[in-house]
Amino acid sequence: MQFSVHKTLLLVSFSLAVQLSQAQTKQAMIDTLIERSHRLGLFTGNVLVIDHGKELYRKAIGAADASGKSYLTDQYRFHIGSIAKEFNAVSIMMLQEQGKLSIDDPITKYLDGLPGWADKISIRNLLQYSSGLPDLQWKTITSDALAMDAIKQAVKPDFAPGTQYAYNNSNTLLQRQIVARVSGRSFASFVTQNILRPLKMSASLVDPDDAAPLMAKSYTNALVQAPLVSAISGWTAVTMDDFYKWEQSLEQFKLISPASTKILLTPFASGKQCGLGGGEMAGDQLGKHTHDGTAMQYQALLTADVKQGRTVILLTNNRQNSLYDINAAIQNILGGQTYVQPKKQLITAWQDKLDTASVAGLIKAYQELKAKYPNDYNFNEPALNVVGYTLLGKKRYDSAIAVFEYNTILFPHSGNAFDSLAEAYFNQGDKAKSLLNYERALELDPSNAGAKEKINSLRQQK
C-alpha cells in the first residue's frame, strides 16, 4: 500500500512537472512572438494571456506616448474603442432586470424631442444596430448635445427600423442617453457606481482626458500624438487587469443574468455585432466571447473561450491593424500548433490614400507594394477585404466596390470575397448586382446563413 501511494505521488509530481514545462515553453514562445512583433513595428502595447484559468503571460512593451520618453507598464489605461459599448449594453439590461425599462419599448418613451419616425425604433434595435438611425457627420460633432440635435433634425431614418443592420455610434449615443434618463444620473456616474466599483475595477475611468495619470497616449508611426477627445461621451478606459475583471463578470453573470447575456449576443443577422460584440452561449453558460475596438490610434481585442479558461487581451496605443494576427498566433501556441509570424497590414500602408486615391490608384498601390515588399505585408484575401470595408465605412462606394471586385479576381474561390462585394453593391443601392454576388458567395460557401437571408430578402423585393 505504501509503495502504491508513493508511486501515485511520483506520477502526480511528474505530471505537474510536465505541465509546468509546457507552460514555460508556451510562455517563452509567446514572448518571442511579442518581442519580434514589436521589433517589426507591428505591436506596441499590453498583453495578458490567461490559460486554464491561470495567468500564463503578461507584457507591457513600447512607448506610452509619442515622445518615446515614457514606457508602458501593466498599470497603464487604454481606450478600448467599441468594446466600451459593452458597458452601455450591460447597463440597459441591468435596468431591464430592475423593471425600469423594457428593451422592446420605443426609444421615444424615454427620450424627448425625437422625430416622429423614431417612434418605431425600440431599444432592442439600438442594441442590434438595426434602428435605421442616420450615421452622423461625426467629424463636425463635438458633444452629446450636438449629436442629439443632429438626430432630432434628421428628416427620415436611413431605413425602416428592424429591417437592416448598420453599425454606427448614433445607436451608442441613444443607449447612453436612455441609461442616464432612466437612472436619473449621468451615464458616467451610473457606470462608475454600478459597474466599476462593485467589480473593483478601481483603475478604470470613464472619459479620461489627456491629463489623466497613467493613460497611454495614442500616436501614429510618424509620432503624431492624437488628442484624447471623442464626439460623444461615455467611453471607459481600462487597464488589462481591469479588462479581465470585466470579462470575468460577464462569464460569471455578476451583473446580468444568462438570459440577458444571451440577448446581448443575439445579433440582427448572422455575422453581425450586438451589444457584447460577438460570441455564443452554451446553455446557460457563456461559451465564447470576442470583441474588438478602434479609436484614434488605439486598438483593442479580447477573445475568450470559457470552457478552456482561456482569455487573450491585447491593447495598443499605436494602431497597426495586427491584433487579430497576433491573437491567432497566440491561440496556435496555446493549442500546441505551429504559428505564422504576423506581417504588416495593407490598411496601415494606405492610411494617407483612403480619402483621396482613385480606384486605379488603389489597385496600382497594391501591385507596387506587393512587388516591392512581397514578404513584409499581408497580401491575403482578408487584408484587402479590410481596405474595402474601410472605404465602405467612408461611403466611397465606387472605390470599395473596385477593391472588393479586385479581391474576387485574386481569390475567385473565396465565398467571403463575393459576400463582401455583394454587401458593397447593396449599400450603393444596386440590388441586382448585390443579389448576383450573394448567390455566388453562397455557391462557394453553402454554410453562409447570412447570404441565404439576403438572397431571400432581395428576391422578395424583385
Q: Within this chain, do residues 252 and 364 fall inside the same structural domain, yes or no? A: no
Reported as a pLDDT band with limits 50, 70 and 90, residue 10 is low
127 domain-assigned = yes
Q: Within this chain, do residues 328 and 352 fall inside the same structural domain, yes or no? A: no
pLDDT in tens, 219-278: 998 899 999 999 999 999 999 999 999 999 999 999 999 999 999 999 998 889 999 999
Q: Which of 280, 301, 334 delimits the end of a domain?
A: 334
Give the torsion through C-alpha atoms of 243, 248, 250, 255, to 10 deg: -100
Q: Within this chain, do residues 246 and 97 fall inside the same structural domain, yes or no? A: yes
Q: How many domains does the chain have?
A: 2
Q: Within this chain, do residues 374 and 455 fall inside the same structural domain, yes or no? A: yes
| Residue 48, pLDDT score | 98
110 domain-assigned = yes
Distances (CA, A) of 117 to 155, 165, 343: 9, 17, 47
Question: Which domain, by its residues, includes 363?
Answer: 346-460
| Residue 3, pLDDT score | 45
Reported as a pLDDT band with limits 50, 70 and 90, residue 1 is very low
List, in sequence order, every residue forming a beta bridge with 311; answer none if it has no partner.
Answer: 50, 304
98 domain-assigned = yes
65 domain-assigned = no
Give the pTM: 0.84
186 domain-assigned = yes
Q: Within this chain, do residues 95 and 163 fall inside the same structural domain, yes or no? A: yes
Q: Choose the weakest-confidence range: 298-312, 355-369, 428-442.
A: 355-369
1 domain-assigned = no
Is a pLDDT exceeding 50 seen at residue 16?
no
Reported as a pLDDT band with limits 50, 70 and 90, residue 334 is very high
Q: What is the CATH number of the domain that holds 398?
A: 1.25.40.10
Task: Quickly count helices (H) and strands (E) in the chain.
Answer: 16, 9
Q: Which of 291, 314, 334 delimits the end of a domain?
A: 334
Cβ atoms of residues 313 and 240 within 8 Å: yes
Is a pLDDT exceeding 90 seen at residue 88?
yes
Q: Within this chain, do residues 255 and 363 fall inside the same structural domain, yes or no? A: no
Percent of the chain surpassing pLDDT 90: 79
| Residue 8, pLDDT score | 58
Reported as a pLDDT band with limits 50, 70 and 90, residue 359 is confident
**Mean pLDDT along residues 386-391:** 89
Is a pLDDT exceeding 60 seen at residue 362?
yes
134 domain-assigned = yes
Q: What is the CATH number of the domain that holds 189?
A: 3.40.710.10
71 domain-assigned = no
pLDDT in tens, 175-231: 999 999 999 999 999 999 999 999 999 999 999 999 999 999 999 988 999 999 999
Q: Within this chain, do residues 115 and 203 fall inside the same structural domain, yes or no? A: yes
Q: Is 52 left (phi over 0), alpha (psi -120 to 50) or beta?
A: left
| Residue 7, pLDDT score | 59
Measured between alpha carbons, how far is 232 from 134 in angstroms, rounded to an integer? 15
pLDDT in tens, 418-431: 999 999 999 999 99
| Residue 361, pLDDT score | 85
Reported as a pLDDT band with limits 50, 70 and 90, residue 31 is very high
| Residue 343, pLDDT score | 87
Reported as a pLDDT band with limits 50, 70 and 90, residue 11 is low
Question: Which alpha helices (H) appear in 98-235, and where do they start and end?
Answer: 123-128, 144-153, 169-183, 187-191
Enter the C-alpha cell of residue 403: 477593391
| Residue 358, pLDDT score | 84
Q: Choose the weakest-confidence range: 227-231, 299-303, 345-349.
A: 345-349
Q: Within this chain, do residues 228 and 158 fall inside the same structural domain, yes or no? A: yes
Measured between alpha carbons, how far is 92 from 86 in angstroms, rounded to an integer? 10
Is a pLDDT exceeding 60 seen at residue 408?
yes
Q: Which of 334, 354, 384 delimits the end of a domain?
A: 334
**Mean confidence (pLDDT) of the chain:** 92
Q: Within this chain, do residues 363 and 317 fall inside the same structural domain, yes or no? A: no
Enter the C-alpha cell of residue 43: 505591436
- Strands, DSSP E only, in 141-250? 205-206, 236-238
Q: Within this chain, do residues 257 and 392 fall inside the same structural domain, yes or no? A: no
Q: Within this chain, do residues 319 and 403 fall inside the same structural domain, yes or no? A: no
Reported as a pLDDT band with limits 50, 70 and 90, residue 4 is low
Is a pLDDT exceeding 90 seen at residue 17?
no
Q: Within this chain, do residues 393 and 440 fall inside the same structural domain, yes or no? A: yes
